Amino acid sequence: MQHILLRNRETPDIGKFDVYVQNGGYEGLRKALDMTPDAVTGQVKDSNLRGRGGAGFPTGMKWSFVPKVEGPKYVAVNADESEPGTFKDREILEKNPHALIEGALICAYAIQATAVYIYCRGEFWDLAHNIEAEIEKARTAGWVGNRIAGKDWSCEVYVHLGAGAYICGEESALLNSLEGKLGQPRVRPPFPAVAGLYARPTVINNVETLANVPFIMVNGAAEFKKIGTEKSPGTKVFCMSGHVANPGNYELPLGTTFRDLIYTHAGGIANGKKLKAILPSGASGPLLAATDKVLDTPLTYEDVAALGSVLGSASVIMLDEDTDMVWATQRMAYFFRHESCGKCTPCREGTYWLEKKMNSIIDKKATATDIKILEDVAVQMQGKSLCALGDFATSPIVSSLKLFRNEYEAYVEPPAKPAAKAPAAKPAARAAAPVAAGGD
């Protein structure tokens, strides 16, 4: 299949401005500029493109919420990519950055924005500086800055570097961080479309979402909808990590089954092991046991939701038969405690207790009551936090307790009694590194 997003796979130098232009680059923006802004939004709406940052929200609809007011308006590109297991935006930013820049400019034209801020996670230091250089080349060619392509519309494109905080990927925290405030989520309403960056109308989209837009402008909504399924059209970059034979990014049509993705494309499970469980959306979505039903499920927003999980950003982490699920869940509990921004009590206190209970279980200092408390705390947290992180933090725990409760029980049973199923071999007990001896 031809790549739409990872065009660097066919044309390795597509990241360079000249090569991008030789391969049809900026034709999407040229077409858009000959249309009215509303018609551009309409075409994206017709394409049914859904946000690739996690929530799957219809992109054209998001753009249409922006009021037609005078004065500054903004596009904020979410390039904060920090979900464990996600590395798709990084490949686009590094190898095909003009697809993003062009897509963001098309969005900016559609909402008549005055500036685009690309919020790049700080660790993307090297590639962010490369993007700045590529933006300058686009500017020289007249695609950025004053009176773009000679039209009566001007727009700047800037890169802003974050500095290491998962929560800044949450869109309202991202805006606060850009404004030089603490990177903590905002209470909504108002929604960013009305009062976002500097309290001005703002669209926030993920890198991969925007990188689809040039294709939609050049080829039309109908061509885009030919790929994928009716409710989830287009391709998706699936990030394959963990115990997979060939880790990496795979751009495939939405609707590809888990089985095809894992066994046909990514070479199956490493070292000939059996697959035990899948995290389809990094640490933030519920675990799935690797049953035939799950493996035959098409990867679309609606089908993965029907399984009780989420497609999210499609960071698919594979866990093989030897994985200790209690250990894996503890690592995710550490992540969420570390990344909770501390603004609201259920999440700040809840993530602390979840990690503490997971640690006591894994250290074999817990009783069956602690498992119950762990579950209660997680369930109590759900739906009570200011942003989705508070819910994300509960999903690995609730889902692993549902699917692999016997492994938890094996940790708390007295050693004399034969365990229902002994915990599988695991990499070094409770990883001395990340959790012992404080330091963070």
Partner 1 sequence: MLDPKYNERIGQIFARYPDKRSAVMPMLYVAQEQYGWVSPEAIADVADVCEMDPTQVTSIAGFYTMFRETPKGKFWLQVCTDLPCALKGADQFYEGLLKLVGLDHHHDTTEDGLFTVEHVTCLAACDKAPMLQCNFHFHESLDLEKMKALIDSWRAEASSGTLTEAQGLP
| Residues engaged in binding partner 1 (CB under 8 A) | 72, 81-87, 89-90, 121-126, 156, 158, 160-166, 177-183, 198, 239-243, 247-249, 279, 282-283, 315, 317, 319, 323, 328, 331-332, 335, 338-339, 427-428, 431-434, 437, 439-440
Count CA atoms closer than 13 A to 56's CA, side-chain side.
Answer: 19
- Residue from the set 31, 348, 405, 426 that interacts with ligand SF4 by CB under 6 A: 348
Cα-to-chain-centroid distance, residue 395 = 16
Task: Give the residue carrying structure tokens 């970059």.
Answer: 237
Letter string b/e over residues 207-231, b meaning 16 or more CB atoms within 10 A of that residue's CB: bbbbbbbbbbbbeebeebbebbbee
β-sheet with 235-242: strand ranges across = 248-253, 235-242, 315-320, 275-283, 288-289
Q: Which is nearer to ligand SF4, 59 or 385 (CB)?
A: 385
- Residue from the set 99, 157, 319, 344 that interacts with ligand SF4 by CB under 6 A: 344
Q: Does 171 interact with ligand FMN (rule: CB under 6 A)?
A: yes
- Distance in Å, CB of 366 to ligand FMN, minimum: 28
- Distance in Å, CB of 135 to ligand FMN, minimum: 20
* Contact (Cβ atoms closer than 8 angstroms) between residue 84 and residue 317: yes
Q: Does 387 interact with ligand FMN (rule: CB under 6 A)?
A: yes
User: Is residue 418 helix, strand or coil?
Assistant: coil
Instruction: Give Cα separations from 391 to 315, 330, 384, 396 (angstroms).
Output: 18, 16, 8, 10
- Distance in Å, CB of 395 to ligand SF4, minimum: 13
- Residue from the set 57, 125, 158, 198 that interacts with ligand FMN by CB under 6 A: 57
Of the candidate spans 92-100, 164-172, 214-222, 242-250, the one that interacts with ligand FMN by CB under 6 A turns out to be 164-172
- Distance in Å, CB of 189 to ligand SF4, minimum: 16
- Residue from the set 185, 196, 214, 396 that interacts with ligand SF4 by CB under 6 A: 185
Q: Does 47 interact with ligand FMN (rule: CB under 6 A)?
A: no
Round to the nearest angstrom and report the end-to-end CA distance of the chain.
Answer: 45
DSSP 308-369: TS--TT-EEEEEETT--HHHHHHHHHHHHHHH--S-SHHHHHHHHHHHHHHHHHHTT---HH
- Distance in Å, CB of 80 to ligand FMN, minimum: 4
Q: From the CB of residue 261, how many other CB atoms can be counted at a distance below 10 Å?
A: 22
Beta strands in 141-191 (DSSP E): 156-161
Task: Give the residue carrying structure tokens 């390795």.
Answer: 12
Of the candidate spans 110-118, 279-287, 319-327, 383-391, the one that interacts with ligand SF4 by CB under 6 A turns out to be 383-391
Q: Which is nearer to partner 1, 87 or 263 (CB)?
A: 87
Q: Does 78 interact with ligand FMN (rule: CB under 6 A)?
A: yes
Q: Does 341 interact with ligand SF4 (rule: CB under 6 A)?
A: yes
In one letter, which amino acid is 70?
E
Q: Which residues bind ligand SF4 (CB under 6 A)?
A: 167, 184-185, 340-344, 347-348, 385-387, 389-390
